């Protein structure tokens, strides 16, 4: 060992390097410069890493320097970190420099091996390795609302069931290193009773850590005034084709329910829809909502996904009021609408009346006499209300739906296009069990 160290020190000398962003550097070896009697050329090797400090400052890394042709017997190894520059006296030739012991979460920009020609008339030739490092996993908690929780416990579980826990402060991030590539589940625990995670996946987020690292799990948490928090009393819904319909009953002491969030999930609060769940605002403008301690909200969506996507899934809903108080998500199995007990729509028409309104009318019945009401969507020329995207624009006159069978007129010339922009209308009829019937018609022009 002493012989090897002596040989190493005869070949390698280390001096500090001061970079614009580094005020000091430590040396790898105690020698202060090249061995006495040695003259240029020299080969300098350094490594720089970009990433969080606890990852970028890892090391020391192992380096190996070899004369490439083999005609000069030069082959030496050493260790150095990002704080070091290693200067080696060499003979003019072509050399290969390899770096190893690099964390799997660090990528090497130009590869782990570099070649360099050291000319006879040069002073110092430089090899530089650039590492781009990411933590294996970053977890963030974004918290908003009333009486916010200040910190949480994050548990990371691997595929074998082994767990490790960390404390995560509100509106902060933690970086977890040393996690090998693989699939994990990240759990957010010890939430206050008035706080609800509304991100995709709720309090459980599955992640996949790749060898290069960089996985990210973010929790979005809303804390509510528990005295004013909306609460879902019941939820029922079903699918027909690639559409869903639902009826939700919600209590709210302030009678100011404003927003619904509706999703099709894997039954663990994680969306299976390409664009995620659907938000609908405007509930607090509806008399059926603001005048009731227990509001009944009817809704529906065309999801534009293959019908098979909805098979074996769940319907997930949460409700928020105008102050941002939010209910927990409620999930129920999403089943196809019953063909024997869902509402029967005999006729459905929509026509422009005096170029100032659209009047929609329908006749319907329910085999079990438990029809709750309807939800109507009007189809408008593409690009009239939003940027053109190849799909017809949609107007919802009653965002909370309508109880019963009477459909209110849609007033025109109020910012939702002209009378001749309206092309069609869709009616969804929903019963107490959530069974939905969908029917579409063309708007009749005057």
Q: Give per-residue pLDDT as tens, 206-215.
A: 999 887 778 9
Interval 106-159: pLDDT, tens: 788 888 999 999 998 889 999 999 988 878 899 999 999 999 999 999 999 999
According to CATH, the topology of domain 344-444 is Immunoglobulin-like (2.60.40)
Q: Is the pLDDT of residue 32 over 80?
A: no
The predicted structure's pLDDT at residue 194: 94
* Residue 285 predicted with pLDDT over 80: yes
Give 2-133's CATH code, choosing from 1.10.10.10, 3.40.50.12780, 2.60.40.10, 3.10.129.10: 2.60.40.10
pLDDT tens digits, 65-74: 999 988 888 9
How far apart CA 166 and CA 159 sit, in angstroms, is 18
Under DSSP, the state recorded for 16 is -
Domain 2-133 and domain 137-223, same fold? Reply is: yes
pLDDT at residue 2 greater than cutoff 70: no
pLDDT score of 83 more than 80: yes
> Whole-model pTM?
0.75
Q: Burial level of 242, CB count in 10 A (0-12/13-18/19+)?
A: middle
Stretch 399-413: mean pLDDT: 93
Distance CA 356, CA 410 (A): 9
Q: Which CATH architecture has domain 137-223?
A: Sandwich (2.60)
Mean pLDDT for the stretch of residues 193-199? 95
Average pLDDT of the segment spanning 345-355: 95
> CATH homologous superfamily of domain 231-336?
Immunoglobulins (2.60.40.10)
Mean pLDDT, the chain, integer: 88
pLDDT attached to residue 70: 83
Annotated domain spans of the chain: 2-133, 137-223, 231-336, 344-444
Q: In the sheet where 137-145 sits, what is the strand order?
A: 172-176, 137-145, 215-223, 195-197
> What 3-state DSSP class applies to 284?
helix
């Amino acid at each position: 060992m002493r012989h090897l160290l002596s040989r190493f020190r005869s070949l390698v000398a280390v001096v500090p390097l001061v970079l614009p962003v580094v005020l000091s550097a430590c040396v790898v070896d105690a020698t202060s410069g090249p061995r006495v009697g040695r003259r240029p050329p020299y080969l300098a090797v350094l490594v720089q890493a970009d990433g969080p400090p606890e990852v970028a400052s890892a090391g020391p890394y192992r380096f190996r320097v070899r004369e490439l042709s083999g005609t000069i017997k030069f082959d030496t190894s050493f260790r150095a970190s990002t704080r070091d520059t290693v200067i080696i006296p060499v003979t003019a030739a072509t050399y290969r420099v390899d770096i190893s012991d690099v964390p799997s979460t660090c990528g090497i920009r130009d590869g782990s091996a570099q070649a360099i020609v050291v000319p006879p008339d040069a002073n110092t030739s430089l090899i530089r390795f650039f590492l781009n490092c990411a933590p294996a996993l970053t977890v963030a908690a974004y918290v908003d609302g009333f009486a916010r929780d200040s910190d949480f416990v994050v548990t990371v579980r691997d595929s074998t069931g082994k767990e490790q826990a960390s404390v995560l402060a509100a509106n902060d991030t933690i970086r977890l290193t040393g996690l090998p590539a693989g699939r994990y589940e990240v759990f957010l625990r010890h939430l206050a009773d008035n706080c609800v995670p509304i991100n995709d996946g709720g309090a459980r987020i599955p992640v996949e850590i790749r060898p290069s690292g960089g996985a990210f799990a973010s929790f979005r948490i809303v804390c509510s005034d528990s005295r004013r928090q909306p609460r879902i009393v019941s939820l029922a819904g079903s699918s027909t084709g690639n559409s869903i319909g639902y009826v939700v009953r919600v209590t709210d002491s302030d009678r100011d329910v404003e927003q619904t969030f509706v999703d099709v999930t894997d039954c663990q609060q994680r969306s299976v829809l390409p664009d995620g769940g659907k938000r609908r605002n405007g509930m607090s403008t509806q008399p059926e909502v603001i005048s009731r301690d227990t509001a009944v909200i009817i809704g529906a969506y065309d999801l534009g996904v293959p019908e098979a996507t909805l098979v074996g899934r769940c319907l997930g809903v949460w409700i928020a009021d105008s102050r941002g108080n939010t209910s927990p998500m409620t999930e129920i199995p999403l089943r196809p609408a019953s063909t024997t007990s869902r509402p029967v729509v005999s006729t459905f028409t929509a026509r422009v009346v005096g170029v100032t309104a659209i009047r929609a009318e329908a006749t319907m019945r329910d085999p079990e006499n438990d029809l709750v009401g309807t939800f109507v969507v009007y189809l408008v020329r593409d690009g009239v209300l939003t940027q053109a995207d190849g799909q017809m624009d949609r107007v919802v006159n009653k965002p909370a739906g309508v109880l019963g069978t009477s459909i209110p007129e849609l007033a025109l010339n109020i910012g939702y296009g002209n009378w001749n922009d309206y092309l069609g209308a869709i009616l969804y009829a929903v019963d107490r069990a959530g069974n939905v019937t969908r029917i579409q018609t063309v708007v009749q022009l005057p």
